[in-house]
Structures are given as structure tokens and as C-alpha cells.
Amino acid sequence: MDQPEKTGITLADIAAVSPEEFARKIAGDADEAAQWIKAAAEYGMAEAQALLGQILLDGRGIARDAALARQWFLQAAEQGHLMAMNMIGRCHELGWGGEIDFVEAASWFRRAAGQGLDCAMYNYANLLLHGNGVRKDERLALDWYRQSAARGYAKSLGVLGRFYEEGWVVEADRTIAIDYYRQSAEGGDFRGQYNYALVLVEQDNMDAAVSWMRQALASAHLAFSRIMAPNLHALPQAELRVVALEAFRKCCDSEDSEDYYAYAMALLANADPEQRRLASSLLQRAAEQGHAQAQLALAASSPP
């Protein structure tokens, strides 16, 4: 396996620091933390190998290298490190650093889930629910989600809410669904926060709904933010349309022409002159990237 460049930190250096001091070193400056994590990983410490895999995925204090991250996760997983088992499963599931292999992903998730890791239970349940790499089995998926949720895993709590709202496998029960959404939201899952906020909208508790929706947006990844933005913009409540514009704006961090265009069109639905000027600027950015609809919109708005 290709190794990172040696750090100069020796095994004796690592042995000389207390666990508390080592924890401070790897929680501090990203560059220094990476050096200590690399050194400990090279000396075979499974926890450091798993951490090294993570910082290689994130590019935190070290050059991003998903293929090398996958190798370090595998080394830690082979030593029995549960989170590394989960992460090598994620690498296979999502194609981080190599090919997608759902069968291999399921194998690693199942191993970690069987030893009690809540996030691996959730990931394995997802594969069972959709039949990726394993035979589709909604009842078995539900069982794993329940086990994960019993450990307080917020994402699993949110999915259980969907089971009860939609009547998947279980009898539909809106009251139970709402309680799961609340628990998921309080546990910090952005999907749970979004779903719970929609419940609060139905209950006409707009202040709480907007607060939860903004919390959801703060931690949502790009794909979910792109779902939130148009969904909220289509709702009649003015407070939620404000959050929708915040979601459109967040999506523009991608610098993708489609996100610029979507934000511009949402702004143009308003009469505010400042928002319309911003929309024109966004259309210009999208048009410069070759976005055909943005180019047409600019041409239509230009004086003859």
C-alpha cells in the first residue's frame, strides 16, 4: 500500500504523550493534527488509521485522497475497528476512492451492525430497504432501523417516521410518525428537522417551524438543499418562502449554473428592485457558463 510521507514523529514520541495530550494534539491545528494521526496510523494504531482515512476523505490538514483513505479504513477495519468497517462500507457504497460495490458495502455494514454500531445498522437497513447489494427486505430493514433508533441514532428515528407516515410494512399512524420526526429533529438530523418543521406548519406554529427549517438548512448537504429550496418556495407561507431564498442562496455555493438560474428565477417572483438586480447578476453568471435558459432570460430582459 502507498504510505504517506513519514512524519518524523517516532513511536517513542507517541508513547511519551498522555492520552489526553494526544487528544488535544489531534483536535488542534489541522496540519499538526494530521502529522500526529499519520504517525500513529503508520505504527499500526487502528483508531489513528480510521482517523487518517477520514481526514484524507475531507482534505483536512492533508491532501484529499479518497483512494488512500479507503486503504487506511480497510487496515483499521481488518483490526476490528467498527467505525472503519462502516466507512469502508461507505467507500464501496458511494464509490469513494474506487468502484461502487453494494455487495461489499453490505458485507461491511452487516459486520459492524452485528457488533452494535448504530450508523452501520442504519446504512445496512438502507441497502435492505432499496435492495442494493442484498435482497430487498423491508421488514428486515425496519428491524435494523428500530435497533439503530433504540440507540438514539437520529437518522434512523427519522426513517421510522416515514414508515409510520407512509404505512410501509406497519400500519400508518400519523401520531407515531410525528413523534419520531420530533426525536429525529432533536437528535440533529436535517431530514428529521425538515419533516418536523412541516408538521409544525400544519399546526400553525410558524415560529417553531421556521426555526427547525433553518436548522435543517444549516446542516443539509447540497442535494437536500436543492430539494428544500423549490419545495419551500412553492408553499403559501411567506415565512417559508424567505427560508426558501436562503436555501437557493446556499445552493449557489456550488457555483453551478443551474443553481444560479434557480435562485434568479425565485428572486424574479418578487417585485423588490434589489432582489431583481441580484437576479440579473445571477442570470449573467449562469449565462457565462453556457446556461441556455439564463441566456434567453437575459436577452428577453435587455432593451432592444
pLDDT tens digits for range 104-131: 999 999 999 999 999 999 999 999 999 9
Task: Report yes or no: 30 and 61 within 8 Å, Cβ to Cβ.
Answer: yes
How many degrees, rounded to 5, is the angle at CA 130 between CA 128 and CA 131?
A: 60
How many residues does the structure list for the chain? 304
Q: What is the pTM of this model?
A: 0.90
Q: What is the CATH number of domain 1-100?
A: 1.25.40.10
Q: What is the dihedral of CA 223, 225, 227, 230, to 10 degrees?
A: -140
What is the domain partition of the chain in residue ranges?
1-100, 255-304
Task: Give the pLDDT score at 302.
Answer: 65
DSSP string for 180-209: HHHHHHHTT-HHHHHHHHHHHHHTT-HHHH
Tell me phi and psi for residue 43, to 5 degrees: -90, 10
User: Which amino acid is located at 262 in the chain?
Assistant: A
Contacts of 138 by beta carbon, 8 Å cutoff, 6+ apart = 128, 129, 168, 169
Q: What is the spatial distance between Cα 209 and Cα 215, in angstroms, rounded to a whole number?
A: 10
Task: Give the pLDDT score at 220.
Answer: 98
Task: Report yes or no: 257 and 290 within 8 Å, Cβ to Cβ.
Answer: yes
All residue ranges of the chain with pLDDT < 50 are 1-5
Q: What is the spatial distance between Cα 250 and Cα 264, in angstroms, rounded to a whole number?
A: 13
Q: What is the spatial distance between Cα 228 and Cα 230, in angstroms, rounded to a whole number?
A: 6
From the list 184, 182, 163, the residue with the least C-alpha distance to 173 is 163
How distant is the alpha carbon of residue 47 from its chain centre? Answer: 22
DSSP string for 28-74: S-HHHHHHHHHHHHHTT-HHHHHHHHHHHHHTSSS---HHHHHHHHH
Q: What is the spatial distance between Cα 122 and Cα 109, in angstroms, rounded to a whole number?
A: 9
Distance (Å) of CA 66 to CA 39, 59, 216, 273: 19, 9, 27, 45
What is the DSSP-derived secondary structure letter of residue 235? S
Q: What is the pLDDT of residues 136-154, one digit of tens each?
A: 999 999 999 999 999 999 9
Maximum alpha-carbon separation in the chain: 76
Task: Give the pLDDT score at 1.
Answer: 43
Q: What is the spatial distance between Cα 74 and Cα 82, in angstroms, rounded to a whole number?
A: 11
